[in-house]
Amino acid sequence: MTPDLGCYAKQYAEGKMSAARAAEEAGVSLWEMMEYLRSKRIPSQYDFDEWLKDVETVERRVEARRGPPRRRNAPERTLN
């Protein structure tokens, strides 16, 4: 059964939900939802503050998967 992306895209366009939430509710990936929104020429409801918040969320999730960053020793430089 094909999800009704139009219903969720409309809610996104009206500012009632984020693109990520619309995708989740529709049962598609965020990338599929973004492509659908572009194909319907629905303008982005995304501003810099939201972008920054998303970047921080991604960084936290990546760090949680990898664990704390490992410290590497810098390679020794040799002078010729």
Residue carrying the six token digits 């810099």? 48
In whole angstroms, what is the distance from residue 23 CA to residue 59 CA? Answer: 21
CA distance 52 to 3: 30
Given pLDDT bands bounded at 50, 70 and 90, which one contains residue 75?
low
CA distance 76 to 22: 51
Task: Please report, for the chain, the start and end positions of each structural domain, with discontinuous segments joined by +.
Answer: 5-65
Give the confidence band of 26 by pLDDT, cuts at 50, 70, 90: very high
> Strand, helix or coil at 42?
coil
User: 28 phi and psi, to 5 degrees?
Assistant: -125, 170
**Residue 75, both tokens:** 């390679």
Question: Which of the four pLDDT bands, split at 50, 70 and 90, describes residue 1?
Answer: very low
